Amino acid sequence: MANSYFTDPKSPPTEESVQAALGRVAGTWRALFAKLRAQHPDLTESWNYYNDGKSWLLKVTQKKKTMFWLIVEKGAFRITFYFATRLTDALLTSEISAERKTAIQESAVQGKLKGVSVKFGPRSGIQDVLKLVDLKKTLK
């Protein structure tokens, strides 16, 4: 995975430590999660330490279904969704950005899954994340 900011298994991320790690991107984090929590109150967030990547990841779920994974880097964060490869056409005809559609087309297949990532910085990615959450909830 990317260069995680949080690698100490004994120190789980807190809202304050995430804000400090993100710096100028912290406003994007707050805006994204404010919208996610307002539009999708059924989602649950949990930080977990994973030995395989030696880092903390935020796992966002709806009941038992994983919606996406999030990793915090210094000054940035990345969200990754995984969709069944059979859903590729539905993703490519959805309302996500052309940049995300290109990423889907270029992403490697991992088993029966295709990943799509959104790296922040720019606020433009917020709409893609919200649309991808909607797709993840509705596509079967």
Residue 78 lies in a domain: yes
- In a domain, residue 8? The reply is no
Task: Report DSSP state, residue 108.
Answer: P
The answer to the question of residue 3 being in a domain is: no
* CATH code where residue 87 lies: 3.90.1150
Q: What is the pLDDT of residue 119?
A: 83
Does some domain include residue 7? no
Count: domains in the chain: 1
pLDDT: which is higher, 48 or 122: 48
116: containing domain: 15-138
pLDDT tens, 26-59? 999 999 999 999 999 999 999 999 999 999 999 9
pLDDT in tens, 51-107: 999 999 999 999 999 999 999 998 899 999 999 999 999 999 999 989 889 989 999
Q: What share of the chain is helix, strand, coil (3-state, %, to 5)?
A: 40, 30, 30
Residue 122 pLDDT? 45
Catalogue the E-assigned strands of the chain: 43-50, 55-62, 65-73, 76-84, 109-110, 113-120
* Structural domain contains residue 22: yes
Residue at 80 is within a domain: yes
Does residue 130 form part of some domain? Answer: yes
